[in-house]
Structure formats: C-alpha cells, structure tokens
Amino acid sequence: MTADPAHLTWRPVAPGDAAACAALFNAIEDEDHFGEYYGEADAAEQLGDPGLDLERGTLAGFDGDAMVGYSWAMHRPLAVGLHRVMLQGGVHPAYRRRGIGARLLDAGIASAKDLHAIHHPDLQLTIDVQTTETNVGATAAYRAAGMSPIRWYSHMTHPLGEAIVSAPIPEGFVVEGYSAENAAEFHAVRNEAFLDHWGAVQMPAEQWRGTVVGWQSFRPDLSFLLRDTAADTANTADTATGTAAGILVTHFWEADTEATGIRDAHYLLIGTRRAYRKRGVAGALIAHAQRAAEAAGFDQTSLQVDSASPTGAAGLYEKAGYTVARTDVRFTLEA
C-alpha cells in the first residue's frame, strides 16, 4: 500500500469485493475494537443484504486491489412516520487523516438522500451512524457533518459457568428450539416485541430470512422460543393456547474466534410479547440458552442493549450477570 490518497481509484462496492471488504473490516477492527471480525463469507452476506443497494448506496476507495476505505447506506424496505437510513463506513488505519473519511461520509449522506428519494420520498429522512464511545476521530467527523448523539448502546458479555443465574421456566410454559415448524412464530414475535422500541419497524419476511435466520452465523440449535401452554380460560373447551411468548436468537461468528480465541454466542435478538412482560419470560430464555451454550463449548455469551430500552432490558441483563464491555453511540442527522 502506498498510503497516498491521490493514487486511489473510486467505485461502488461489488459482490466480488467480499474478500477485500473482510480484509479492510479486520484492519479497522484491530485499530478501533468494535468487537467484529469478518470472514469472506460473512462480508458476502452483508453485501447481499436486501437493504443494501450496491450501485446507488456504496462507495469504496482502492489502492490497487486493496480496499482502503468504504461507505454504504442501508435503506429500510418498510418505514413508518420517518425513514432512518443507516450509514456504515471506515478507513484503513494506514490511510487516515488524509481526507478519505470525510469524502466517504459525504458520499454516504448523499447516497442516503438518493435512496430516500427512491423508496420513501413522502417521509421525513434521518441519517444515522454508530461508533464506539472511545472512537474520538469518528465522533469528531460526525459532529463536523452536523450529526448529533441521540442514543447509547451497551455491548454486554457473560462468562457462563458459575455466573449463570438460575431462572426457572415459568409454570405453564415450555421451551422449544428453533425449527421449520415454529420459524414463522419467531418472526411474528420479533415484529410484535419490538414495536415500542426506539427506531424499530416491522421486519419484512425477506429481510428476516436474508439477514437473521439465513446467515451462516445463525445458530438454530442455540435459538429458543418460550411457549405458553396454560389453559385458555376464555375457551370453553379448555384447550391450550400454545402462544409463542418470547424468543431468543443466537449467532456465532467463526472469524471472531479465529482472531480472539474466544467462542462467543451472541444473542442477536431477545424479545417478549407485551402481554407476557414482567413474567420471567426473557430471564428464563437467557438462562436456558446460556446453559445450552456452555454445553456446546462456548466461552461466553454477549448481547447489545439500548441503554434507554422501554422494557428495562439493561437492568434485566445486569441481574442475569452481564457486564458492559463497551458502549456505542448513535449519531443522527435530520436531512
């Protein structure tokens, strides 16, 4: 690498750039510590996300065959009230402080506006980006672009073993593993459980299949549903309701383990239907999933939580033995 931005070539990211993306992501991770390493297959899955328009929403700088900076804008297939476009980007550490990051951020904001005009022109547009609380350079760049901090997210970890807090399955409920038979219920619980969460919208089935249960990192054997089998008192036949009350969805990235030596079961989603909150559903799912992860040879579990979650999730996770490993900040721009 020359580390000379004048020698860079610029173009949209293409499906064949997965290996170059993974190499850049990992170089950025070594410097900035987001907690995410990538294999080529992981990057390829991200490039195939239905919310990512490679031609209209991405830009990358190349030094020869090496990608040294990138930006992309993720639009939302469904939006209500306002349309939040999420930016993602970064610059290889060897190429920083040369104006590349500012160029990419400007390109990302422009792409967000273009995608908004195509998909949700009648709604208000907000443009979001997220970084670690300790990333001073990125924070300064976002503020310079007119962005303001709006939300804080805690990335929490749990060491398993003796730290697993006992939380029995509530009476009248049973735990099920993910299967073809209950797959649709997992999706339905996700969409209902997150209705009152900040920025959340319904996740279309295509996006659910493509980015949650369709990725190679999805662990169906460590993903669980808690079902209410208690008698339905409104039903004169006194039959079981069988309602899916809550879900826990686990992902595992082999690239993280290869880089760190730690096998981490990440809880991508933990959701409880409103009618079942404050009844021990989430706590029981977490304890059950933790025991399953430990039996499967994992070293720890992790999750991310909105520090201002309306369900008080941060407190629940602390009671379950989780501690904060890092804090991310969401910046936003009303465009």
Residue 276 has pLDDT above 50, yes or no: yes
**Would you say residue 332 lies in a domain?**
no
- Which 3-state string (H, E, C) describes 320-333? CCCEEEEEEEEEEE
Query: What digits encode the pLDDT tens for the residues 155-208?
Result: 999 999 999 999 999 999 999 999 999 999 999 999 999 988 888 889 999 999
Q: What pLDDT is recorded for position 335? A: 86
Grade residue 233 by pLDDT with cuts at 50, 70 and 90: very low
Which CATH number fits the domain that encloses residue 236?
3.40.630.30
- Tokens 């005009």 belong to 117
Q: What is the edge-to-edge ordering of all strands in the sheet holding 124-132?
A: 9-11, 58-63, 66-74, 82-91, 124-132, 323-334, 148-158, 300-306, 264-272, 243-251, 224-228, 173-177
C-alpha to C-alpha distances, 107 to 68, 93, 142, nearest whole angstrom? 15, 20, 13
Out of 126, 146, 166, pick the residue that ends a domain. 146
Token pair recorded at residue 275: 């009618």
Residue 180 and residue 59 share a domain: no
Q: In the predicted model, what is the mean pLDDT of residues 118-142?
A: 96
Instruction: Give which of 280, 261, 264 is closest to 272, Cα–Cα.
Output: 280
Instruction: Find, among 35, 34, 37, the residue nearest to 26 by Cα.
Output: 37
3-state secondary structure of 98: coil
* Three-state DSSP string of 114-149: HHHHHHCCCCEEEEEEEEECCCHHHHHHHHHCCCEE
For position 238, what pLDDT does the model report?
35
Same domain, 168 and 301: yes
Which residue range(s) make up the domain with 115? 5-146
Which of 117, 146, 175 lies at the terminal end of a domain, its last residue? 146
**Residue 311: what pLDDT?**
79
Residue 286 confidence class, pLDDT cut points 50, 70, 90: very high
Q: 122 with 199, same domain?
A: no
Stretch 51-80: mean pLDDT: 96
How many CA atoms does the CB half-sphere of 111 hold within 13 Å? 30
pLDDT bin (cut points 50, 70, 90) of residue 324 is: very high
Last residue of a domain, one of 123, 146, 169: 146
76 domain-assigned: yes
Which helix (H) or strand (E) is 91 found in, with range?
Answer: strand 82-91
Whether residue 83 is predicted with pLDDT greater than 80 in this model: the reply is yes
Comparing CA positions, the residue from 134, 158, 142, 177 lying closest to residue 285 is 177
